Amino acid sequence: MIFLQDRIILENQRPRLLPLEPRAEIPTRADASSVVYRRWLKEKRVVYGTTLGAA
């Protein structure tokens, strides 16, 4: 149910790939948890669905 509610938002998200490089976007205070999450993904070497995994 929740996935179906968020599906339209997820399918239309821009950029399609999550940028992990800090300079790719300008973070604000509200993005603090997102910055920590992206840093964690990078430490875990997760690249699928990110700009680091783009060929």
Query: What are the tens digits of pLDDT across the range 1-46?
Result: 777 888 888 788 777 788 888 778 777 888 888 888 988 999 999 8
Predicted confidence (pLDDT) at residue 54 exceeds the cutoff of 90: no
**CA quadruple 25, 2, 44, 32: dihedral, nearest 10:** 40
pTM: 0.56
Predicted confidence (pLDDT) at residue 47 exceeds the cutoff of 90: no
Amino acid 44: pLDDT = 92
Amino acid 55: pLDDT = 62
Half-sphere exposure in the Cβ direction for 30 (13 Å, CA) = 0
Amino acid 22: pLDDT = 77
